[in-house]
C-alpha cells in the first residue's frame, strides 16, 4: 500500500481492494493545520496527495516498523522525507499511524506527528 501512495497510484490502490474506496477515513497529522478533519475514500487520498505535494517536493514514506495491536488494528511507524517547496528546508522525521480494518479492508488510518503518540494511542510502548 505504501508503494502505491509514494507513486500516487490511487487507481492501483482501489484495484487491490486494500482500502474501503468510499468510506476509508484518513486523519492526517496535518489535518488540523490544513483546516480539515479527515480525508474520505480514494478521492480523499487523492486530495491528501495534492495537499501534501503542494507543500513538499519528493514527499516519501518508508515503513520502519509494523506491530499488531489487536484483531482489527495495526500500528505502523514511518520515516517521512521530502523538501519544502518554498523554503527548500528538508523533511526527515518519524511519524506513526494506527490502522483500523473492517471487513478485511483499511477503514480508518489515524496519523500522529510523533511515534510516541501513536504508540500511546495503540496502548503500546517502545
- Residues in CB range of 31: below 8 A, 6 or more apart: 37, 38, 39
- pLDDT by residue for the chain (126 residues), tens digit each? 788 899 999 888 888 878 888 899 999 887 665 666 789 999 999 999 998 999 999 999 999 999 999 989 999 999 999 999 999 999 999 999 999 999 889 999 999 999 999 999 999 877
The pLDDT value recorded for residue 21 is 86
CATH value at residue 111: 3.10.450.50
Is pTM beyond 0.85? Reply is yes
In eight-state DSSP terms, residue 19 is B
Q: Give the span between the Cα atoms of 92 and 37, in whole angstroms.
A: 24
Establish if 112 belongs to a structural domain. yes
Q: Identify the pLDDT of residue 68.
A: 94
Is 97 inside a domain boundary?
A: yes
Q: Is residue 67 situated within a structural domain? A: yes
Domain that holds residue 93: 2-118
CB 98 within 8 A of CB 121: yes
Domains held by the chain: number: 1
Residue among 73, 80, 77, 93 at smallest CA distance from 126: 77
Q: In the structure grid, which three cell numbers stand for residue 124, read together? A: 503500546
Amino acid at each position: 500500500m505504501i508503494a502505491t501512495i509514494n507513486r500516487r497510484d490511487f487507481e492501483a490502490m482501489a484495484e487491490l481492494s486494500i482500502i474501503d474506496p468510499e468510506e476509508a477515513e484518513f486523519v492526517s497529522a496535518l489535518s488540523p493545520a490544513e483546516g480539515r478533519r479527515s480525508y474520505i475514500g480514494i478521492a480523499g487520498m487523492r486530495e491528501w496527495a495534492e495537499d501534501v505535494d503542494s507543500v513538499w517536493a519528493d514527499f516519501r514514506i518508508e515503513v520502519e516498523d509494523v506491530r499488531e495491536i489487536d484483531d482489527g488494528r495495526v500500528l505502523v511507524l514511518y520515516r517521512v522525507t521530502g523538501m519544502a517547496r518554498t523554503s527548500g528546508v528538508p523533511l526527515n522525521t518519524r511519524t506513526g499511524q494506527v490502522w483500523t480494518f473492517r471487513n478485511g479492508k483499511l477503514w480508518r488510518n489515524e496519523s500522529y506527528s510523533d511515534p510516541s503518540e501513536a504508540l500511546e494511542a495503540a496502548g503500546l510502548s517502545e
